[in-house]
Structure 1
């Protein structure tokens, strides 16, 4: 009897904590409200299952408690009960998985006109690369990584000369513009995550992953690595700055190209060329 009562109290306390808890996801700043909706549905389905199972167990503890003279019966099979439990479980699994698969399909299908930016993770900082005036990224290879070429851009690829290299860990994107983020790791497994954007994806050494989002709110949002990547993991943070197009253009004009970063100001007025041609994250 006491155990049944404690289990009921656990259910009540869990529900009270969930609905009154001050800890919530930060306000969303992208188009991925679908992810919030999927998480809410997961809470409802699993929450209903939790409440139903615990209350049923509490009922059984009370209803079938020991009483003098009461004898139990053995029933090895109950076809109706098995079908009912199997059916309910199947519906619950479908409700949990189907919306997630639909959202995942959208998450990895960027619009054809999405701008592009590359985020590169290395112990323990973030660097970024934007395509230059030609709108194309240059080829990369770990063999080219050196003190003046931290991202491994191929010096022999002409498309890479005007790529913009951002090594300060601060990435700017224009408000309202769909952005496809290409992810690359130079050393170990990292994970790119911006809580307000509701976007996260692993950076796997030896392969390129990606996701996309449309920023819907101007501001500064912290970029985190949420895959343990060594002793400096907590300090691997960057900054995503979402700003109007005019402010973004000013920031873009101040960035150095790959050629400039290796040879000072050699290469002429490449920064001016990027702005005049209307390059905006590769669009």
Structure 2
């Protein structure tokens, strides 16, 4: 009897915590309404299952508690009940999967007019690379990473000379303009995550991952690493500044290109002389 009351109280307490709690999703600042929809549908299906199963269990414990003179009925199988449980479980799983699959299809289908930004993760900081006037990112590979070439760009690739290199952890984006985030890691697993964008993806050493989004609200948003990446994981933060086109162009003009950095460091000629054509790298 006491166990039944505890289970029922757990259900009521969980519902009150959800309704009265000040913690909820941050305001959406991107185009990913479909991801919010998938999360909410999953929450409601799980909530209905949680309430129904726990209240059923509490009712069963109370109704069929031991009482003198009562004898239990032994029924090892019930095909009708099993079919019902299988049917409703399948409906619940399909209801949770369908919105997520629809959102995922959109998530990996990048618009043709999307700008490109490369985000690099390393213990424990973010840095970024943007295409120059040619609109194309130059080729890069980990073997070329040096103190003067933090992104491992190929000095022989003409598309990389005008690439804009942002070695700070602050990235600027244009409001209302779709952008493809190309993700690379220099060391271990990281995860690029901006809660207000609802968009996130792992950075996996040795491969290039991506996703896309369209920022819909101006403002400053925190970049978090959502993958445990070492002792400094909690300090691996950055900032996305979403602004209008004019402000973005002004910021972009203040950044250095790969060619300028190599010229200033005096290492451009040396790297160019030792550079060989790179096969199999991702542009």
Q: TM-score, normalised by structure 2?
A: 0.92
Q: For residue 82 of structure 2, give the secondary structure of its aligned residue in structure 1.
A: helix
Q: For residue 8 of structure 2, give the secondary structure of its aligned residue in structure 1.
A: helix
1-side partners of 2:62 and 2:24: how far apart? Answer: 36
Deviations 1:207-260 (A, max 9, x none): 000000000000000101111111111111111000000111111111111010
Name the structure 2 match of 1:144: 144
Deviations 1:174-210 (A, max 9, x none): 1100000000001110000000111110000000000
Name the structure 1 match of 2:3: 3
1-side partners of 2:118 and 2:2: how far apart? Answer: 59
**1:111 Cα deviation after fit:** 0.7
**1:264 Cα deviation after fit:** 2.4
Residue 132 in 1 paired to residue 132 in 2? yes
Name the structure 2 match of 1:274: none
Name the structure 2 match of 1:41: 41
Q: For residue 212 of structure 2, give the secondary structure of its aligned residue in structure 1.
A: strand
Name the structure 2 match of 1:249: 249
1-side partners of 2:145 and 2:253: how far apart? Answer: 25
- 1:158-197 matches, cutoff 5 A: 158-197=158-197
2-side partners of 1:24 and 1:67: how far apart? Answer: 45
- 1:13-162 matches, cutoff 5 A: 13-162=13-162
2-side partners of 1:232 and 1:260: how far apart? Answer: 31
**1:85 Cα deviation after fit:** 0.6
Q: For residue 132 of structure 2, give the secondary structure of its aligned residue in structure 1.
A: coil
**1:102 Cα deviation after fit:** 0.8
Aligned length: 266
Name the structure 2 match of 1:210: 210
1-side partners of 2:185 and 2:87: how far apart? Answer: 44
**1:139 Cα deviation after fit:** 0.6
**Is the contact between residue 145 and residue 153 of structure 2 (CA under 8 Å) also seen in structure 1?**
yes
Q: For residue 215 of structure 1, give the secondary structure of its aligned residue in structure 2.
A: coil
2-side partners of 1:265 and 1:59: how far apart? Answer: 75
**Is the contact between residue 148 and residue 265 of structure 2 (CA under 8 Å) also seen in structure 1?**
no
- Unmatched 5+ stretches in structure 2: 267-283
**1:69 Cα deviation after fit:** 1.1
Q: For residue 77 of structure 2, give the secondary structure of its aligned residue in structure 1.
A: coil
Q: For residue 205 of structure 2, give the secondary structure of its aligned residue in structure 1.
A: coil
The runs of 4+ residues in structure 1 deviating greater than 4 Å are none
